[in-house]
Structure 1
Amino acid sequence: MSDTVAALDQIRPVLDHVVINVMGELDAAAAQYTRLGFQLTERGHHTLGSSNNLAIFGHDYLELLGYLPGRETQRADLWAHPAGLTGLVFKSVDADLVYSTLKARDVPVQPPMSFARPVALPDGTHDARFKVIRVSGEQVENGRTFFCHHDTPELVWRPEWQRHRNGVTGIAEFVIAAQNPARTAALYEQMFGPGLLAQITGGVSFRAGAATVLVLQPDAVAARYAGAALQSGDGSDRMVALVFKVASLDAPRAVFDAASIAYQSYAGGIIVSHQDAANVALGFTV
């Protein structure tokens, strides 16, 4: 396989995980997402200074990212973003190849950065190791887009962590509200090549493996997701909603009813307001 063909294959858009910035409220966010029916991993601590809890699905995952008391000055670039959905992360098989290919496409990208976090397992503590290739921060308003290479995927996708009371098996949609969807989405077409974007009502979308990324005007977000998503107060772009795949809506309904968490119907299934999910609207669809 030529380097060119390999590069094109390595940077296909496939969702790896999503990041919810909860700043100094990790305990409260973890408690609420547990009430929402997600099984969360134990608190992890990155070598870079941030901390997290994860909800692991079949091929992707959700990350609650924040900091412990006294660590707010570490990774200060992360906490400059507003609390809520702030990370759209794609899979990388070869970090160096992704970096060189994006550079060749004139995408403002930073060199691969390595870090780790300890993971406690029955046989002892192991280091989950990663490399990330980040698009320069100014390219994405109120959030980040990057690629994640997992050196140790077996320390992330473990069967005992993939069972959730709400029945979630994966992420179906990632939603960005933008006044000018075509302008916002142009970055992704530059990253992944022409022909990526599809026109939809109120904006554009593209496939990212089993998930779909939607970039919609704010009024289209409100209409599609029954007003459950956060609206940006200053008109800037904002990552605002996630939709999860479930086998049946009975499971999330039962969890929400038992926990007295309000939800409503929308075109795709049921949805929980951003007010009950750390500033992110959460949809559930079959």
Structure 2
Amino acid sequence: MAPLLDHLVIDVRDRMAAGAARLAALGFQLTPLGRHSLGSANHLAVLGEDYLELLGTDVPGGPLRPDIAADPVGLNGLVFKTDAAEALSAALLARGVPALPAQSFHRPVELPDGGRGEARFRTVRLDRAAAFDGRLYWCEHLTPQHVWRPEWQRHPNGACAIARVLLAARDPQRQAAMFRRIHGAAAVQAGEDGRVVLPCGPVQVEIAPHAAVAAELGEAAPDPAGRGDHLVLVALRVTALADTVALLRSRGIAVDSTPTGLRVPAEPALNAVVDFIA
């Protein structure tokens, strides 16, 4: 089961408006607010083959879905693609991977012609005790045409794809062992500075020791907020890096230079580092 990234989840709890305003300031075009049949709300920044999801509730002080209620603001969800959720759940269980049964849900969408449609999904989640401090799951899109719409894929910052995901881990080898059980022994590669790498098609998921993450991110790093093994960074590929730099600076967004592009340090609305690379 070679992994392919579907999307990343940034939990915003009951601060949906603040999270959406921050992503918009960073140059992302967001989908209209969606409300899941599970009781949560979201906005998406839809890219070419993947997307970022802001997840929480749009009611200030309102209740959160039980499975996300413990997650702090930040990058907490790593989501892979599947085209057969129920079969995947059975296959994972057969391999000794603690997967939960497939779950179906939906949310309404407004169609380009003004009519109403329904985006429908089936997901398979990994038991939280077996993963990092967050959620690892697979998403089967039953109606992908209601997610990847051209009018939602054009972003002022030029973002077109997720390129890199960074997870800080106390013991990267523990996380590597989990990914090997899921995807096979050859799926995980050794990296530098004690890192392990899970290639996901065009996306590279890196699991790095805390010390290596601290050395790379410094003061730009997000607040762990009680998390041990946790997602800290997403890097987005853009069509023209110079244009992205100009846009962010024109909006007064503080950025740092990196060897591959630019970095927006974590701040309270998202609590995640966002990189832009060519």
Answer whether TM exceeds 0.5 for this pair: yes
Q: Quick check: 1:78 aligned with 2:91? A: no
TM-superposed CA distance for 1:15, in Å, is 0.2
More moved, 243-252 vs 21-30: 243-252
Closer, same or farther in 2 for the Cα pair 1:25/1:277, shift >3 Å? closer
1:168 to 152, 159, 183: 159
2:263 to 239, 259, 271: 271
More moved, 93-102 vs 157-166: 93-102
Q: Quick check: 1:254 aligned with 2:238? A: no
Q: Percent identity?
A: 40
Tell me the amino acid that sits aligned with residue 116 of structure 1: H
TM-superposed CA distance for 1:232, in Å, is 2.9
CA distance in 1 between partners of 2:62 and 2:143 (Å): 28
Q: How does 1:196-215 map to 2 (within 5 A)?
A: 196-202=187-193, 203-215=195-207
Q: Quick check: 1:222 aligned with 2:243? A: no
More moved, 134-143 vs 123-132: 134-143
Q: Does structure 2 conserve the Cα–Cα contact (< 8 Å) formed by 1:221 and 1:227?
A: no
Which residue of 1 is the match for residue 122 of structure 2? 131
Report the 3-state secondary structure (helix = DSSP H, G, I; strand = E; otherwise coil) of the residue aligned with 2:105. strand
Q: Does structure 2 conserve the Cα–Cα contact (< 8 Å) formed by 1:46 and 1:117?
A: yes
Which residue of 2 is the match for residue 7 of structure 1? none
More moved, 81-90 vs 230-239: 230-239
1:20 to 10, 32, 36: 10
Tell me the amino acid that sits aligned with residue 243 of structure 1: A
More moved, 82-91 vs 250-259: 250-259
Q: Does structure 2 conserve the Cα–Cα contact (< 8 Å) formed by 1:56 and 1:162?
A: yes
Which residue of 2 is the match for residue 244 of structure 1? 236
Q: Does structure 2 conserve the Cα–Cα contact (< 8 Å) formed by 1:131 and 1:148?
A: yes
Q: Quick check: 1:37 aligned with 2:8? A: no
* RMSD (Å), alpha carbons: 1.6
Report the 3-state secondary structure (helix = DSSP H, G, I; strand = E; otherwise coil) of the residue aligned with 1:75. coil
Which residue of 2 is the match for residue 144 of structure 1? 135
Q: Does structure 1 conserve the Cα–Cα contact (< 8 Å) formed by 2:165 and 2:205?
A: yes
TM-superposed CA distance for 1:40, in Å, is 0.2
Which residue of 2 is the match for residue 62 of structure 1? 52
How many residue pairs match? The answer is 276
CA distance in 1 between partners of 2:274 and 2:207 (Å): 16
TM-superposed CA distance for 1:83, in Å, is 1.1
CA distance in 2 between partners of 1:217 and 1:267 (Å): 20
CA distance in 1 between partners of 2:231 and 2:10 (Å): 10
TM-superposed CA distance for 1:276, in Å, is 6.5
TM-superposed CA distance for 1:186, in Å, is 1.6
Report the 3-state secondary structure (helix = DSSP H, G, I; strand = E; otherwise coil) of the residue aligned with 1:13. coil
Q: Quick check: 1:194 aligned with 2:192? A: no
Q: Does structure 2 conserve the Cα–Cα contact (< 8 Å) formed by 1:49 and 1:71?
A: no
TM-superposed CA distance for 1:139, in Å, is 1.6
Closer, same or farther in 2 for the Cα pair 1:134/1:178, shift >3 Å? same
CA distance in 1 between partners of 2:210 and 2:257 (Å): 19
TM-superposed CA distance for 1:158, in Å, is 0.7
Closer, same or farther in 2 for the Cα pair 1:190/1:109, shift >3 Å? same
Gaps of 5+ in 2: none
TM-score, structure 1 normalization = 0.92
More moved, 224-233 vs 243-252: 224-233
Closer, same or farther in 2 for the Cα pair 1:232/1:165, shift >3 Å? same
Q: Does structure 2 conserve the Cα–Cα contact (< 8 Å) formed by 1:15 and 1:208?
A: yes
Gaps of 5+ in 1: 1-10
